[in-house]
């Protein structure tokens, strides 16, 4: 969902008001397109389809910002990211906007010279298992082999969860999140613990998605949303107001 014409008009007035100078806005306008980055591939959020077009929740937000700046959702260049964060590219100006690639927390809020605009999606760590296991809750799991990324917050939370519930499990550790699905499909583990958004992506990519179940419990909370540089208040406000405009747009569409 992008933006309706009357909301575009409101944003256009704000952008032309001259209240403050935005180096980022001037740079984007001079370039002729927005450079926006998000996790890839993550079905439902950001992925390049067979026809070459980008689609997903995060992609639509990039297009909404392009609409606010240019009045054209197509004036955006997408940059796929694969790691936990790409703040250096944002700090150096290679990116104008980073969408949902790293959870909003204290260290990122204070140590990377970036600003989180708002929370657009709440994620959280979950556990994926085969339906054949017969479990409907993470609290029922015992004696399972769980694939999880090594040396990560997710590994520490998984250990804490099983310790608190006095249940046994075996860790199957990997360096890259992409390895989790490969190992699970090969039967090297019979569960995966990762962010729920990644688990949904893995489930969709399985030969029989309906044979997999994501446990309803979340053992963490990860607020995610657009990120900009910390030195441009006007650009921050433009992106934030675009986020608010999308919320208003959804409310109008629902009435």
> Does 206 or 255 have the greater pLDDT score?
206
Q: Which residue(s) pair with 81 in the sheet?
A: 39
Q: Does the pLDDT at position 178 exceed 80?
A: yes
Read off the DSSP letter of residue 46.
B
Q: Which two tokens stand for residue 134?
A: 């017969």
Q: What is the pLDDT of residues 99-139, one digit of tens each?
A: 976 889 888 888 888 999 999 999 999 999 999 999 999 99
Round the average pLDDT of the chain to a whole number and report it. Answer: 89
Give me the mean pLDDT over the 58-87 stretch: 88
* 221-255 residue pLDDT tens: 999 999 999 999 999 999 999 999 988 888 877 77
Place of tokens 């260049």: 77
Residue 74's Cβ-side half-sphere holds a number of Cα atoms within 13 Å equal to 1
Using CA atoms in the order 128, 131, 136, 142, what is the torsion angle rounded to 10 degrees?
-70
Per-residue pLDDT band for 181 (boundaries 50, 70, 90) equals very high
Q: Is the pLDDT of residue 12 over 60?
A: no
Q: What is the pTM of this model?
A: 0.83
Give 55's strand partners.
47
Tell how many helices (H) and how many strands (E) occur in the chain: 9, 14
Cα Rg of the chain, angstroms: 20
């Amino acid at each position: 969902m992008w933006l309706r014409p009357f909301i575009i008009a409101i944003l256009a007035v704000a952008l032309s008001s001259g209240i403050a100078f935005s180096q980022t806005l001037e740079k984007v306008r001079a370039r002729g397109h927005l450079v926006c980055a998000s996790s890839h591939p993550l079905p439902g959020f950001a992925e390049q389809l067979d026809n070459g077009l980008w689609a997903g929740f995060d992609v639509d937000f990039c297009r909404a910002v392009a609409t606010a700046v240019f009045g054209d959702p197509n004036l955006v260049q997408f940059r796929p990211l694969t790691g936990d964060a790409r703040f250096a590219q944002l700090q150096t100006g290679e990116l104008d906007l980073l969408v949902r690639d790293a959870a909003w927390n204290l260290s990122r809020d204070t140590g990377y010279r970036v600003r989180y605009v708002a929370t657009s999606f709440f994620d959280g760590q979950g556990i994926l298992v085969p339906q054949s296991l017969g479990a409907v809750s993470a609290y029922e799991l015992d004696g399972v082999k769980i694939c999880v990324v090594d040396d990560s917050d997710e590994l520490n939370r998984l250990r804490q969860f099983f310790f608190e519930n006095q249940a046994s499990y075996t860790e199957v550790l990997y360096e890259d999140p992409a390895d989790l699905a490969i190992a699970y499909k090969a039967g090297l583990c019979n569960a995966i613990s990762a962010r729920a958004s990644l688990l949904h992506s893995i489930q969709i990519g399985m030969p029989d998605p309906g044979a997999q179940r994501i446990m309803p419990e979340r053992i963490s909370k990860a607020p995610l949303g657009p990120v900009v540089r910390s030195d441009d208040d006007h650009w921050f406000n433009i992106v934030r107001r675009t986020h608010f405009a999308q919320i208003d747009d959804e409310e109008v569409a629902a009435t």
